[in-house]
Amino acid sequence: MRVILLPRTLFIVLSVACLLAVWLSLALGPVSLPLMDTLRACLRLMGLPVAGDHLQQAELILGQIRVPRTLLGLAVGAVLALSGVAMQGLFRNPLADPGLVGVSSGAALGAAVAIVAGASLGGIPEALAPYLLSIFAFAGGLLVTGIVYRLGRRDGQTSVGIMLLAGVAMTALAGSIIGLFTYLADDAALRTLTFWNLGTLNGASYARLWPLLLVCVLVILWLPRRAKALNALLLGESEARHLGIEVERLKRELILCIALGVGAAVAAAGLIGFVGLIVPHLVRLIAGPDHRVVLPASALAGASLLLFADVFARLVLAPAELPIGIVTVFIGAPFFLFLLVRGRT
């Protein structure tokens, strides 16, 4: 495989793509805003003295709807892509998906419980009620990942092979319990559940945003520091140990990163599949497998891709809106098959 772009060129291209995606995400929708108006309104939102009293409507749309939605898209895309890189490094397999350790299905289970049974759970403080879904989803993701990690531990070592199998089993178990809750749900809950499972950036609010942004910043700051160790881990666990890497600690940190990142992303935006799988893959195809490049480039590419997918989801059936999970899987699944077929030849 040949490196198509040098890292610096790749970063320039991705940064431009990301800016373009942000602009499109801010400007397009049921009410389209001209470029300069978008820019001016954004500056005014930041409190800068920019002329333009006719921009009140634009400010309202941007401030209340599109800015949080765009931030949500950026954070979800970046975190899912980074979790994908971490997962593929952990399993030393370029086709591993962050859902493998059960974090997505655990989050989906938590969400199903919150949607279907949330109202009948007594004693929930009034202030927490709007976040019930997110909290349950996040906790579900962490819990299932914790169980899978626990099952993978043998004699002080973590066996990723056993974790993989345990993840498959836990995903199936979570699926059956979700099925049970789906069966018990009334029509309104069923609709919410279905749409949540398809993933959407719709209805983003700052309150739902900040926990994800916090996790996102943590993951973005931490993972690249371990880029060299991740490279060594790809050689094999004992090889990495002989190169002086504390492999058990690294694996724990990676699993924590994946659980926090995917848990927070799923809690904020529902199930958005295949971003964590295809983004790191594309980046590797273009720039090679060195994590010092793959990690930051995947974060940028994941954020851009998710925003483009969201803009597409907003526009294709306008004024109605397609759930973004449908868009990403519709692009992602054929791409995955393409990689499989290509890998065989």
Positions that interact with another protein (CB under 8 A): 1-2, 92-94, 228, 231-232, 234-236, 238-239, 241-246, 284, 288-290
Least separation in angstroms between CB 83 and another protein:
18
Parallel, antiparallel, or unpaired: how do β-strands 153-154 and 157-158 relate?
Answer: antiparallel
Q: Which pair of tokens denotes residue 137?
A: 């989803």
Q: Which pair of tokens denotes residue 223?
A: 């993972």
| 44 in Cβ contact with 50 (< 8 Å) | yes
Least separation in angstroms between CB 246 and another protein:
5
Least separation in angstroms between CB 243 and another protein:
5
Burial of 316 (0-12, 13-18, 19+ CB in 10 A): exposed
CA distance 286 to 12: 14
CA distance 181 to 306: 29
Q: Which residues of 104-116 are buried (b: 16+ CB within 10 A; e: fewer)?
A: bbbbbbbbbbbbb
Least separation in angstroms between CB 108 and another protein:
30
In the complex with another protein, the residue whose CB is nearer, 248 or 321, is 248
Least separation in angstroms between CB 160 and another protein:
12
| 151 in Cβ contact with 225 (< 8 Å) | no
Query: What is the CA angle 267-100-157, rounded to 5?
Result: 115
Least separation in angstroms between CB 337 and another protein:
19
Residue among 135, 125, 96 at smallest CA distance from 258: 96
In the complex with another protein, the residue whose CB is nearer, 284 or 314, is 284
| 313 in Cβ contact with 27 (< 8 Å) | no
Least separation in angstroms between CB 261 and another protein:
21
In the complex with another protein, the residue whose CB is nearer, 95 or 124, is 95
Q: What phi and psi values does residue 250 have, to the nearest 5 degrees?
A: -60, -45
In the complex with another protein, the residue whose CB is nearer, 122 or 156, is 156
In the complex with another protein, the residue whose CB is nearer, 161 or 319, is 161
In the complex with another protein, the residue whose CB is nearer, 263 or 276, is 276
Q: Which pair of tokens denotes residue 150?
A: 């626990």
In the complex with another protein, the residue whose CB is nearer, 59 or 248, is 248
